[in-house]
Chain A
């Protein structure tokens, strides 16, 4: 009989203590009313829950549901070619997988969701990751591993059918375009009219190119050395940004409008996706990864050492009224689409069905890599929420409400914040901007500047004091922009490959990966697609983040719905109906969330929520010749009408595509349950593993096991 935890008193004692500690954390977070509590309690509640979930729930999924079998050879072992397929040490692969899934998403969403208070966001991040996000990542990784590393789109086509597969493929592409546009919009909002930020982020491009040539010509393969030089140059670029900011001539040269930044980003996206990978993309990726790991570690240390008090309310009135200025709509469903990455992110399904499954050494490692990496990302989201919640609520709303509501001056913003029920004086607003050496902090929506102010607050409490606030603020901005630009250039390339693949069916030459005109045309199309939404967002009179972030959240969660549909279908087809609830329950939840949110965005009669109600309101205004605030001119009115029409139609299209996938999958599941014979699946046949993970064979080396 197996020795399980129940039979070992020490283990029982340990896990009881973890459970009690986690429960104490939750108790403090949930029950404290009217007094500020320390952020450490939030960290304890989250870590305690992750530990219990990993120890018990992920083990249950691994053993009972997926039946991971270490005697079965993984594709990395069977198809080993030393390049794409290669058994890799699990600790290294965990690092790679985490670096691939974690980006700006878990940092931005929680900051915006803080308008409903820190409690709902924290509960969703922790409960969501345990029962939905980490489960999705782990099961998709498993399915792709059992299919030699096939992509989510391929698995949908093969396991669900042609119609569902085609709908999934188009949905993935369309959703990715929106994702890239909104992420780029976060950068635009962070850099607009900020010479310091613009200079230091712009410098990342020559730094990456320098690193690319250094690695190619001077020191081939010396990635660590090159990255360290890159990070040093990056820090210099941040300090240099301060000099630029202090020089009137240079400051005006780097003070760019949102429209200029949009053009620069689109140009950058195009060039980055057609240049050889070694020149720009690969070195940026190294730089971004180094910064990512370093900054997240710093933030964790900062939160634990500074132990800041949470100034935000646990639950604000906006949670029930739905009248929040940052994004409209009530807690259900909008909190659950605003926080996607960190709780449940469909985009991860694309990463988990890409490179990682081809490198897994042993099946049981799916648990640590799939489930574990997602728990780590969730922890990043909790820290981002903390960074937003340590800010004074008055400052939070002055930064995150749309410009149209706040007006352009400190006085008008202070008045608008007072109307929302919070307080900040004009003097405090000016002082807060001065402390981080920005011209203004008013209406700096998008999440990045707020997070940066929160991080500078935490970091300066631990390293360097108040004098370092401006440095830490720009450090945080640079680090977020670096993440996002890496996602934008990598995403543009991935989008190009997908488009080439799709168009190649119609016209062969464009599908060829090495035909230059094909590369240019498809890259330009992908950039034009996200560039359009980026431009629309940057110039939207109602505030681009306010308008587009729900679209981004719905899109990302719909992708999760597609992934969970594939997972549930395969569980049913493979005779595991008994355990289909493991992915079925999160699927039902995410469908309820996305379809309710989508329905409201399309049909709500409230013009702040429903795109078509908004369209009708502004179209009526145009007909009667009235300019409705926050629009300032008839041109603005027309812009609102166009944007709300496009956004509404797009959401309807997304819902239709995903409904097609789910309908097709339901048919397959019913057919499978009725069929006396199991339906065919595309799982690779069983081959006995020859690798002993604990005792490597003499003469055989696993990637990452050399000392």
Chain B
């Protein structure tokens, strides 16, 4: 019983970290693609990095 609860907490933590860090985005992107072969992880991350170049993200003090 206790180990099931622990497993659930760990699963939720894993989910949160993957979402928070953006690691889950690649899977989502691949799932959304309807035509053409999906980009590899490396290609996808480069695409994201290029996009981030033009974005200004403010960080507060």
**A503 to B: closest C-beta gap in Å:** 15
* Complex CA–CA separation, A89 to B25 (angstroms): 13
- Known contacts: A83-B51, A224-B21. The answer to whether A707 contacts B61 by CB under 8 A is no
Q: Which of the segments A1-9, A490-498, A564-572, A606-614 contacts the partner chain?
A: A490-498
* Complex CA–CA separation, A354 to B49 (angstroms): 18
**In the complex, which residues of chain A have a beta carbon less than 8 angstroms from the beta carbon of B20?**
92, 95-96
Report which of A91, A487, A513 forms a contact with B59, defined as CB distance below 8 A. Answer: A487
**In the complex, which residues of chain B have a beta carbon less than 8 angstroms from the beta carbon of A514?**
54
A282–B61 CB distance below 8 A = no
B19–A89 CB distance below 8 A = yes
A104–B15 CB distance below 8 A = no
* Complex CA–CA separation, A485 to B28 (angstroms): 32
A224–B60 CB distance below 8 A = no
Report which of B24, B49, B55 forms a contact with A706, defined as CB distance below 8 A. Answer: B24
A277–B52 CB distance below 8 A = yes
B61–A345 CB distance below 8 A = yes
- Known contacts: A221-B45, A707-B15. The answer to whether A347 contacts B21 by CB under 8 A is no
**In the complex, which residues of chain A have a beta carbon less than 8 angstroms from the beta carbon of B19?**
89, 92, 703-704, 706
**B25 to A: closest C-beta gap in Å:** 7
- The chain A residue sitting closest to B26, CB to CB, is A221
**In the complex, which residues of chain B have a beta carbon less than 8 angstroms from the beta carbon of A286?**
21
Contact residues of B between 13 and 46, Cβ < 8 Å to A: 15-29, 31-32, 41-42, 44-46
A491–B58 CB distance below 8 A = yes
- The chain B residue sitting closest to A354, CB to CB, is B58
User: CB of A355 within 8 A of chain B?
Assistant: yes
- The chain A residue sitting closest to B61, CB to CB, is A105
- Known contacts: A222-B23, A706-B15. The answer to whether A82 contacts B59 by CB under 8 A is no
Report which of A92, A102, A183, A276 forms a contact with B53, defined as CB distance below 8 A. Answer: A276
User: CB of B57 within 8 A of chain A?
Assistant: yes
* Complex CA–CA separation, A100 to B53 (angstroms): 18
* Complex CA–CA separation, A223 to B60 (angstroms): 22
User: CB of A350 within 8 A of chain B?
Assistant: yes
B49–A82 CB distance below 8 A = no
B59–A703 CB distance below 8 A = no
User: CB of B7 within 8 A of chain A?
Assistant: no
Report which of A100, A179, A706 forms a contact with B28, defined as CB distance below 8 A. Answer: A706
Report which of A91, A227, A487, A701 forms a contact with B16, defined as CB distance below 8 A. Answer: A91
- Known contacts: A220-B41, A706-B15, A707-B11. The answer to whether A282 contacts B49 by CB under 8 A is yes
Contact residues of A between 262 and 320, Cβ < 8 Å to B: 276-278, 282, 285-286
- Known contacts: A224-B18, A278-B52, A703-B19. The answer to whether A183 contacts B57 by CB under 8 A is no
* Complex CA–CA separation, A347 to B17 (angstroms): 27
* Complex CA–CA separation, A701 to B28 (angstroms): 8
Q: Counting chain B CB atoms within 10 Å of each CB, which of A92, A221, A706 scores highest?
A: A221
- Known contacts: A95-B20, A701-B28, A707-B11. The answer to whether A341 contacts B61 by CB under 8 A is yes
User: CB of B4 within 8 A of chain A?
Assistant: no
* Complex CA–CA separation, A676 to B11 (angstroms): 57
B61–A556 CB distance below 8 A = yes
User: CB of B1 within 8 A of chain A?
Assistant: no
Report which of B21, B25, B28 forms a contact with A227, defined as CB distance below 8 A. Answer: B21
* Complex CA–CA separation, A91 to B13 (angstroms): 12
* Complex CA–CA separation, A179 to B32 (angstroms): 42
Report which of A92, A216, A220, A487 forms a contact with B60, defined as CB distance below 8 A. Answer: A487
B52–A350 CB distance below 8 A = no
- The chain B residue sitting closest to A348, CB to CB, is B60
* Complex CA–CA separation, A103 to B60 (angstroms): 6
**In the complex, which residues of chain A have a beta carbon less than 8 angstroms from the beta carbon of B41?**
220-221
B-contact 0/1 string along A470-507, CB 8 Å cutoff? 00000000000000001100110110010000000000
* Complex CA–CA separation, A341 to B61 (angstroms): 7
Report which of A179, A347, A355, A706 forms a contact with B27, defined as CB distance below 8 A. Answer: A706
User: CB of B6 within 8 A of chain A?
Assistant: no
* Complex CA–CA separation, A701 to B41 (angstroms): 20
B53–A490 CB distance below 8 A = no
B27–A100 CB distance below 8 A = no
* Complex CA–CA separation, A703 to B16 (angstroms): 11
**B12 to A: closest C-beta gap in Å:** 9
A-B contact pairs, 14 of them (CB 8 A): A84-B55, A91-B16, A95-B20, A100-B58, A103-B60, A105-B60, A179-B61, A220-B46, A223-B22, A285-B59, A286-B21, A514-B54, A556-B61, A701-B28
Task: Knowing that A105-B60, A215-B45 touch, tell me 16 more A-B residue pairs with CB under 8 angstroms.
Answer: A82-B29, A96-B20, A100-B60, A103-B61, A104-B61, A105-B61, A221-B23, A223-B22, A223-B23, A224-B21, A276-B53, A278-B49, A285-B57, A354-B58, A556-B61, A706-B27
Chain A residues packing against B (C-beta within 8 Å) = 82-84, 89, 91-92, 95-96, 100-105, 179, 183, 215-216, 220-224, 227, 276-278, 282, 285-286, 340-341, 345, 347-348, 350-351, 354-355, 486-487, 490-491, 493-494, 497, 513-514, 556, 701, 703-704, 706-707
